[in-house]
Structure 1
């Protein structure tokens, strides 16, 4: 994984870095993520996906099987080119195989007629897909695209009520944000170990960063304030917004440690404190004080629930009939 600080160095000129970081802080404070779509937007997407849902008879003829066609799904997911969409389908098929699941139960190559100019028609390749197949396809798409972020929740749930989809999307957003913080802290630890700071020093740097972000409250203060066991990481109980704020401050530290070639605990601590202060100030301008936000559910429980739901997708997704008329 390439650290975001490294990406900044590659694509952002030095004089533009502060604007980029300011924009990110603004996005963090306003939680401008597709995963936080409002109910109205979710209902709009739900209608679009429901409109391309088809039903065919199962092998026993006693129930209906939900299916989608790739050509229609391509459009709703925002793919402009069929060739690009087939790449995601191919990856989904490989993912299905890697789980030792019969591909033919969920992916079926079919043909359809498309209209051309002057009333002409042409036969093209298409795919009939189950809910599980559609879910795998969205997992191999770009979650930064609103349609794909939504679709991951839509196909993950058997009951597609807007509130449940919204809850699922928010849970996934929090898990991904927590993963990004882990990655940026791991990168910071590598950076500072090369610059004369040991494990204890790293712990002190992180703690002083927390104190700056939370307005003078130490990491232990915040654990007591939020009712968190001293042995558990504070970030595992923070809301998505606060985790994202911590991650941004850490990425800023990563960037400046490298750019300024900082060395030693004192200079790196000062840098990390300043970055957390900057993030806190930007949040404060929008009336947000991180220390006053309520705790979130234990992220370990969220991880288990999301993982459990994902394991159920294939089992609750009806298989394609062996013969399709």
Structure 2
């Protein structure tokens, strides 16, 4: 994570709230403070511009800017009611887009909320996919993250292919309750040439993606050095992911069903559908 990402997370995430529907929101008064607007009346002008932008995007303003009021304590100890807004992530994005560009924190906010809003859009798109497309999307993401994990492991001292295979096995053993790649392979009834990641459902792939990303970050964040330490870290992260699944009442990864179609079969089917679609145009 870059220094800007760390700063953004520290500044903007600390004021994030979650409503009863599990949706993120920010209070406008908090955002005013973060964006260095001293007076509410000046910040209110920015909010009005953001509401206009929201309306011009054919969005319902009330869905993103909810009028609220709350009691605050004055310096004398007396209480006073003030107006405020509960802002959606999209509303925050529009506000920072219309805020004073001369403020450095505004530029950071524009980056932060643009990235977070895009992530939310991608998540909503992902949730609308069928199981095969979800598997394909997560598998492709896992391929990219495994490249980053391999780089982090190499920096820790895992250099040869054999050392990396052992390192990966530790991650599997942590996540799968002691089962290594060979045992998982056998449990799924796969041939030697078949890769276990290509024969996982979306839930199992997601658990492995989380294992990979968290191990990658931990190796880099804590600057872990030495093969034994790297292996131990991978095992511990895998075990922690397993513990989380258990606490949530989920199915253990080794007990999840093996899909009938492999990722390669899904890819071939997707390519065939694309070719047929192009031919019909």
User: Structure 2 length normalisation: TM-score?
Assistant: 0.56
Deviation at 1:193, TM superposition (A): 1.6
CA distance in 2: counterparts of 1:220 and 1:275, whole angstroms: 20
- Give the 3-state SS of the residue equivalent to 1:242 in structure 2: helix
Q: Which runs of 5 or more structure 2 residues have no equivalent in the other structure?
A: 15-53, 59-118
Verify: 1:195 aligned to 2:159, yes or no.
no
CA distance in 2: counterparts of 1:194 and 1:275, whole angstroms: 18
Verify: 1:301 aligned to 2:265, yes or no.
yes
Deviation at 1:282, TM superposition (A): 1.2
Deviation at 1:11, TM superposition (A): 4.5
Matches within 5 A, 1:76-87: 81=57
1:239 and 1:294 in contact (8 A); partners too:
yes
Deviation at 1:268, TM superposition (A): 1.1
Larger RCO: 1 or 2 (CA < 8 Å, sep 6+): 1
Tell me what 2:224 maps to.
262
1:220 and 1:230 in contact (8 A); partners too:
no
2:206 to 228, 235, 244: 244
CA distance in 2: counterparts of 1:246 and 1:145, whole angstroms: 18
1:233 to 180, 183, 195: 195
Cα distance change on mapping 1:13 and 1:272 into 2, 3 Å: farther
Tell me what 2:139 maps to.
178
CA distance in 2: counterparts of 1:185 and 1:79, whole angstroms: 42
- Stretches (4+) displaced over 6 A: none
CA distance in 1: counterparts of 2:138 and 2:126, whole angstroms: 14
Matches within 5 A, 1:34-183: 81=57, 144=122, 146=124, 169-183=130-144
2:156 and 2:219 in contact (8 A); partners too:
no
CA distance in 2: counterparts of 1:245 and 1:180, whole angstroms: 12
Q: What's the CA shift string for 1:224-243, capped at 9, x where partnerless? A: 11111123221110111111
2:280 to 292, 306, 316: 316
Verify: 1:216 aligned to 2:141, yes or no.
no
CA distance in 1: counterparts of 2:187 and 2:143, whole angstroms: 23
Number of equivalent positions: 178
2:126 and 2:134 in contact (8 A); partners too:
no
Deviation at 1:213, TM superposition (A): 0.8
1:238 and 1:295 in contact (8 A); partners too:
yes
